[in-house]
Structure formats: C-alpha cells, structure tokens
C-alpha cells in the first residue's frame, strides 16, 4: 500500500469521525426534538458513509474488493433519512411542541394530533 | 392502517430486495465465512417484518401466501432427510459428503450436502420467527 492511499484513507476516516462528533454535539446542544433529529439523521449518516468509504479504499488497496461495504453504504444512505423522518412524524403526531422561537409550522391544524402529554 | 406513509412504503419496497439478496448471500457463504442458515433465516425474517411494518398484515399475506407453520415442517423434513440419506450409503447417520462439479455458468464448484441441512435450518428459522411475529400481531 502506497503512502498516497494511506493519506486518503486517513483523511476519509477523520472527516467521518468529525461529522459523527458534530452529530453527537448537535443532539446534546439543540433545543427541541425536530432540530436534534435533524442533526442526528443528517450528520451521522454522512459521517458513517464517509468512514465506510475510507474502509473500502483501505481494503481495496490491500487487494480485497469488499462489495458488502458498498452495499452498506447504499443501505444507510436509503434508510437513515427515512428513520429520521418517521421519528419526527411520530413526534409531531403525538403532540410534541416545537421550540419557542420557531416561526413557521406548515402542518399546524392540518393533521390530527393525539396529545399524550399532560 | 390509517396513516399511510408513502415514504416508508416506497423505501420498504426497495430495501426489501437488498435485504433478501443479502440474506441469500449470507446463507450461501456460510461454509467458508461467517454466516449460514441461522443468520440468513433471521435476515430474511427481518426483511419480511419490514414489509409488515410498512404495510398491513393482510397485504403481506396476499403478497406472500405462505403458511409459515408449514414452512417449519418442511424445514425439519429437509434436515431429517439429509441426515438420514447418509444411511443409504452404509455410513453412519449425519455423515456428509462433498464433491466438485462442473456447473454451467458457475464453473467448477464444490457442492456439499451440509448446505441442504443448512437449507432446513434456514426454513425453520424463517418459519418460527414469522409465526411468532404474526401470531402476536394478530391478537388484539
């Protein structure tokens, strides 16, 4: 394995780890469910995908073409945003309030909200 | 289901095929790498449960008119027959054999009778998991 490949792999892994860290910070710092979910589902998806690309390059340079990593890449890209969507939808439908300073709520009054709070 | 979610249903359709292909892949590589009948069966059952989540119990039953309780019986029969077929050749129960065959398209392949036993395990695992989940899902 050449030095160039090693450098590329390191860059990919560091970017992926950085995005995962940003996702974790976003989950801790952001004010309500919707913004937290936004941070988690986007940033973590990109982080994991970039780490998988780095892993694929590493093993490809070592002589193994591991298609399962590519399959996992596609799978995460397809499913993770849908998971975020479903969590947000379930939260909105069960009456979780938006952040006080949010200014726009297009769904307000258009869907039936079952209030489980109180 | 009252609130139909078009996003979940569309993605479930696409992802179902990836899951089923991956479960078949796991099933067939079990002899040389991690995998085999048990994991493959569980992954297949996972794909079917994804369809159950996205759609209705009735829709999935219409899509796949399989009685999973019969599948358990077929799996057990396959496993028992593979194990007892060894006795026809004057060797002890459960003796397996393999040989190399020249298959069209695939080239020289080693076929092992343990794969048939694995097929039995696969069918039993799919049948058991789906029976448990459908039974719990039907009761109200």
User: Can you tell me the ipTM of this complex?
Assistant: 0.79
Interface test with B, best of A70, A77, A86 (most B CBs within 10 A): A86
CA A104 to chain CA centroid, Å, is 24
State the number of CA atoms in the 13 A half-sphere of A55 facing the CB: 16
From A75, A86, A89, residue closest to B15, measured CB to CB? A75
pLDDT of residue B91: 87
Cα Rg of chain B (Å, integer): 18
Which of A71, A89, A93 minimises the CB distance to B18?
A: A71
Per-residue confidence at A116, pLDDT binned at 50, 70, 90? low
Mean pLDDT along residues A82-106: 86
pLDDT value at residue A113 = 76
Which of A97, A105, A45, A100 is CA-nearest to residue A75? A45
Could you tell me if B3 lies within 8 Å of chain A, comparing CB atoms? yes
pLDDT band at A117 (very low <50, low <70, confident <90, very high): low
Stated pTM of the model: 0.84
**Mean pLDDT per 10-residue segment, chain B (140 residues):** 76 93 92 90 95 88 89 94 87 85 80 89 95 86
Contact A95, A115 (CB under 8 A): yes
Higher-confidence residue of B29 and A118: namely B29
pLDDT of residue B1: 44
Percent of chain A residues past pLDDT 90, beyond the cut: 65
At which residue do the structure tokens 């060797």 appear? B91
CB atoms within 10 A of CB B120: 20
Q: Which of B8, B39, B11, B5 is nearest to B25 (CA)?
A: B39
């Amino acid at each position: 394995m050449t030095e160039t490949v090693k450098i590329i792999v390191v860059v990919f892994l560091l970017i992926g780890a950085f995005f995962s860290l940003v996702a974790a910070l976003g989950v801790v710092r952001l004010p309500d469910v919707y913004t937290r979910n936004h941070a988690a589902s986007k940033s973590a998806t990109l982080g994991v995908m970039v780490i998988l690309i780095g892993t694929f390059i590493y093993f490809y340079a070592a002589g193994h073409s591991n298609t399962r990593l590519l399959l996992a890449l596609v799978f995460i890209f397809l499913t993770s945003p849908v998971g975020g969507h479903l969590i947000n939808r379930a939260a909105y439908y069960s009456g979780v309030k938006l952040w006080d300073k949010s200014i726009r709520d297009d769904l307000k009054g258009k869907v039936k909200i079952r209030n489980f709070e109180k | 289901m009252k609130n139909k979610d078009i996003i979940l249903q569309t993605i479930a359709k696409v992802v179902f095929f990836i899951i089923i292909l991956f479960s078949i892949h796991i099933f067939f590589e079990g002899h040389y790498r991690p995998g085999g009948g048990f994991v493959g069966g569980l992954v297949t059952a996972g794909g079917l449960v994804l369809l159950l989540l996205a759609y209705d119990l009735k829709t999935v039953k219409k899509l796949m008119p399989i009685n999973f309780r019969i599948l358990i019986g077929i799996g057990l029969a396959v496993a028992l027959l593979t194990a007892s077929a060894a006795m026809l050749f004057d060797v002890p129960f459960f003796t397996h054999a393999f040989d190399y065959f020249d298959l069209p398209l695939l080239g020289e392949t080693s076929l092992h009778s343990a794969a048939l036993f694995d097929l039995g395990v696969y069918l039993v695992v799919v049948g058991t998991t789906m029976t448990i989940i459908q039974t719990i899902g039907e009761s109200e």
